[in-house]
Amino acid sequence: MEKKTFVTLEQVRDMVKKYPTPFHLYDEKGIRENVRKLKQAFSWNKGYKEYFAIKATPNPYIMQILKEEGVGADCSSYTELLLSEAVGLVGDDIMFSSNVTPREDFELAVKLGSIINFDDITHIDFFEKIADFPETISCRYNPGGDFILENQIMDSPQEAKYGFTREQLREGFLKLKEKGVKHFGIHAFLASNTVTEEYYPALAKILFETAVELKEETGVHIAFINLSGGVGIPYRPEEEPNDILAIGEGVRQAFEEVLVPAGMSDVAIYTELGRFVLAPYGCLVTQAIHEKHTYKEYIGLDACAANLMRPAMYGSYHHITVLGKEDKPLDYKYDVTGGLCENNDKFAINRMLPKIDMGDYLVIHDTGAHGFSMGYNYNGKLRSAEVLLKENGETQLIRRAETPEDYFITLDLENFK
């Protein structure tokens, strides 16, 4: 099966005159349409807001597009907070969810008026030495155990380093209430990249029931529930995509079943769907520059794991299209590799593809989230450019490629002359 690309061979041939491969390419039209559909799915909730996880794609041009669509920022570090400030996101447009948090990160989050989401009960005492508590605070919940859906273990929260236990959540809410906090949020993330419409409604019901219990136990006002991320995308062409409208309806039903009878119909729903929002609307454009015929057939690209780490790090599948050969038979078996001195630097193993000739342009799909952002400089490899395919068909360079000068800029080489 073949996944459709949002860019053609003719467009790429035009792009490479200005932007040498490899580069990450983003589809503005697809991004905007997807965000609007997400907002439609949760339009039944008056306070709904999406907080885009900056870690997925930390580029201010992308963030500006999302800001124009009414999306906030989910930040986890000092630098991500600075990025948010740079595009004019402040106050409750920022959800600051971090762990093992340095003092200066909390200080900047407070300065920007962010909603702070504590990861651990000890952070309450740590924060008190830094700043006064704002009126609104969120806490991250980890229910422990395994998260099971339809008799299948989706993930194991008990193994995750994040969040309060249930007892700590009650204790933390009471402690924060004593310190003057008036409005509370609950946040949780139980499974990653799920391709099932049942995950979000199941998570929502767990959090809604927990919220009702905590309100009864502590008397606090729970202002919002953050369902975080976990709604995935179909990386493989045979996978069915999530229907976000059905997911939103499932969450609505749980809301009506649990929160409304408890007199909590004012609770706002927040999400942090970085992967769902952006992953399908980015791709890595690269060129075949070497072929090797030994015990296997290899195609070597000018991109490597430094440009897209997920296949090397997780064994993740990313679909590959050979531009201009979309209709050719998939009758060649290749390992598609980069040039790092690591044997796991492979974008595909034993992948059936059309015959690849040197100079062919390949598109590696679904790199719009956790693609460029996980890049690194191992082997002295330089990070690639990022390019935006605008709604009008024009392109814009939104991050230039690194140069050797960038690589050496933090080193003082004068001592070696």
Which domains does the chain possess? Answer: 9-24+280-408 (2.40.37.10), 28-278 (3.20.20.10)
Q: Which residues are catalytic?
A: 341
For residue 155, the Cα-to-chain-centroid distance in whole angstroms is 18
Q: What is the pLDDT of residues 400-412, one digit of tens each?
A: 999 999 999 999 8
Contact 272, 22 (CB under 8 A): no
**pLDDT, position 148:** 59
Instruction: Give the Cα separation of 231 and 221 in Å (integer).
Output: 28
Phi–psi pair at 387, nearest 5 degrees: -125, 140
Instruction: Give the Cα separation of 218 and 171 in Å (integer).
Output: 9
Instruction: Give the Cα separation of 319 and 2 in Å (integer).
Output: 8
Q: What is the pLDDT of residues 178-187, one digit of tens each?
A: 999 999 999 9
**pLDDT, position 161:** 78
**pLDDT, position 150:** 63
Phi–psi pair at 18, nearest 5 degrees: -105, -30
Spell out, as residue ranges, where the chain has pLDDT lower than 70.
1, 145-156
Pairing of strands 297-301, 282-293: antiparallel
Euclidean distance between the first and final Cα of the chain, in Å?
57
**pLDDT, position 1:** 67
Report which DSSP code applies to 325: -
- Rg, Å, the chain Cα set: 23
The amino acid at residue 392 is: N
The amino acid at residue 115 is: I
- Taking the whole predicted model, whether its pTM rises above 0.85 is answered as yes
**pLDDT, position 197:** 87
